[in-house]
C-alpha cells in the first residue's frame, strides 16, 4: 500500500511505500503548543520507504532532543525528527490523506496531559 500526505496548502507532499512502524500520541508541552491541541499524533514510517515529492519542510529545533518540520507557506506541522530514531520519519497523523490501520498507539508524556476536568471548569461557559 502507498501512504501519502502533505500540508494544508499542498506545497509539501510525501509518500511512504511501507506500512507504518508505530503510532505515537504525545502529550508533552511542546507537542501541545505546536499543535494548539491537548496532544499530537505521529505516524512512524521506515526512512528507507519514505520520500518527499517536492520540497522538504523547514525545521525548527524545539528541544535539545528533537526538531519539528513545518511548511514555510501555510505553517502546517508535518514532522518530528529525533536522532535516537533516525531510521524513521515521523509525520503528523493529520497530514495523511488516508485513514490508517496501524498498531495500537503509544502514549509518551501522558503525565504531562491536560486533565480533562480542567477543560470543564473554564469561566464563561
> What does the pLDDT look like over 25-59, one tens digit per residue?
888 889 889 888 888 999 999 999 999 998 999 99
- The per-residue pLDDT for 1 is 84
With beta carbons less than 8 A apart as the criterion, state whether 118 and 37 touch. no
Decide if 119 is inside a domain: no
Q: Is the pLDDT at 102 greater than 70, yes or no? A: no
Average pLDDT in the 69-76 region?
Answer: 96
Decide if 25 is inside a domain: yes
Give the domain range for residue 32: 3-111
CATH number (domain holding residue 8): 2.170.150.70
Q: How confident is the model at residue 77 (pLDDT cuts 50, 70, 90)?
A: very high
- The per-residue pLDDT for 114 is 55
- The per-residue pLDDT for 61 is 95
Give the integer Cα–Cα distance in Å for 29 and 121: 20
Amino acid at each position: 500500500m502507498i501512504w501519502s500526505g502533505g500540508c494544508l496548502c499542498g506545497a509539501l507532499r510525501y509518500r511512504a511505500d511501507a506500512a507504518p512502524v508505530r503510532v505515537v500520541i504525545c502529550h508533552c508541552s511542546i507537542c501541545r503548543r505546536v499543535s494548539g491541541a491537548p496532544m499530537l499524533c505521529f505516524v512512524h514510517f521506515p526512512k528507507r520507504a519514505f520520500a518527499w515529492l517536492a520540497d522538504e519542510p523547514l525545521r525548527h529545533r524545539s528541544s535539545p532532543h528533537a526538531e519539528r518540520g513545518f511548511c514555510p507557506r501555510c505553517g502546517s506541522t508535518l514532522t518530528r525528527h529525533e536522532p535516537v530514531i533516525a531510521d524513521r520519519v515521523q509525520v503528523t497523523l493529520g497530514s495523511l490523506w488516508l485513514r490508517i490501520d496501524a498498531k495500537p498507539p503509544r502514549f509518551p508524556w501522558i503525565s504531562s496531559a491536560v486533565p480533562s476536568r480542567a477543560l470543564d471548569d473554564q469561566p464563561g461557559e
